[in-house]
Amino acid sequence: MRIFLDTANVDEIAHGVKLGVVSGVTTNPSLVSKVGCQSYQELVQKICSITSGDVSVEVIEEDASGMLAQARQISKWASNVVVKVPATEEGLEATSILTREGIRVNMTLCFSLNQAVLAALAGASYVSPFVGRLDDIGEDGMALIEDIVKVFNRYSYETRVLAASIRHPNHVLHAARVGAHVVTMPYKVLKQMIKHPLTDNGVERFLTDWRQSGSVFS
């Protein structure tokens, strides 16, 4: 399972990449508006220069022709860009055309197994089921990830299952257990994954013992 950061914040991405555990990024219009940008293209190119991994960049159009026009432009901004297209009827049409043109697509806003199967049949490189938003309405987001993974394996679909809308480290554990290919998470969740009080206590005790012993390193 690979880890992507779900953010458009370049400092967070740079730190994740420095840790050596982040191998891609997902953005969306809300995340971009959070950091603000004069130029979408410049921000995306900056992010794509920080990581060599896949960077998902969403179209901001609702009809297939608008999505196609934006996706073709976005795909030229950097070689590691993956265009994010919503799992709507128009998005499906755009995805089928884009994948035939060799443009990689991440089908986003996926909330059902049916949508995921259609994304795979349209040739999407990734499908992004939104776990947290399903949990928010009383459904079981991780059960959907598990279902999609099983069905994709059964039919050997090449589309990667990218668990999105991750809210806490338990989501990450669960996604790993059910076989998600990628989990994209906010920077905060990555930091929570690292942290354990026993690790911090252990480091402190080892250092205290060492210092008190008067031992010499060399």
Residue carrying structure tokens 């986003």: 108
Please tell me whether residue 26 binds ligand G3P under the rule CB under 6 A.
yes
Is 44:55 a contact under the CB 8 Å cutoff? yes
Closest C-alpha among 125, 129, 128, 182 to residue 159 = 125
β-sheet bridge partners, residue 81: 55
- Nearest distance from residue 158's CB to ligand G3P, in Å? 21
- Nearest distance from residue 133's CB to ligand G3P, in Å? 5
Angle at which helices 169-178 and 187-194 pack, to 10 degrees? Answer: 80
DSSP, residue by residue, 165-195: S--SHHHHHHHHHHT-SEEEE-HHHHHHHH-
Nearer to ligand G3P, 176 or 203 (CB): 176
- Nearest distance from residue 10's CB to ligand G3P, in Å? 16
Q: Which one among 164, 178, 182, 189 touches ligand G3P, defined by CB under 6 A? A: 164
Nearer to ligand G3P, 86 or 123 (CB): 86
State which residue has the least CB distance to ligand G3P. Answer: 165
Please tell me whether residue 51 binds ligand G3P under the rule CB under 6 A.
no
Is 119:107 a contact under the CB 8 Å cutoff? yes
Counting beta carbons within 10 angstroms of the beta carbon of residue 55, is it exposed (0 to 12), middle (13 to 18) or buried (19 or more)?
A: buried
Please tell me whether residue 28 binds ligand G3P under the rule CB under 6 A.
yes
Please tell me whether residue 54 binds ligand G3P under the rule CB under 6 A.
no
Is 182:4 a contact under the CB 8 Å cutoff? yes
- Nearest distance from residue 162's CB to ligand G3P, in Å? 9
Give the footprint of ligand G3P on residues 105-144 (CB under 6 A). 130, 132-133
Task: Please list the active-site residues.
Answer: 84
Nearer to ligand G3P, 97 or 145 (CB): 145
Please tell me whether residue 165 binds ligand G3P under the rule CB under 6 A.
yes
- Nearest distance from residue 110's CB to ligand G3P, in Å? 10
Q: Which one among 3, 5, 6, 59 touches ligand G3P, defined by CB under 6 A? A: 6
For residue 23, the surrounding DSSP H or E stretch is strand 22-26
Give the footprint of ligand G3P on residues 89-108 (CB under 6 A). none
The two counts, helices (H) then strands (E), for the chain are 11, 8
Binding site for ligand G3P (CB under 6 A): 6, 26, 28, 130, 132-133, 164-165, 184
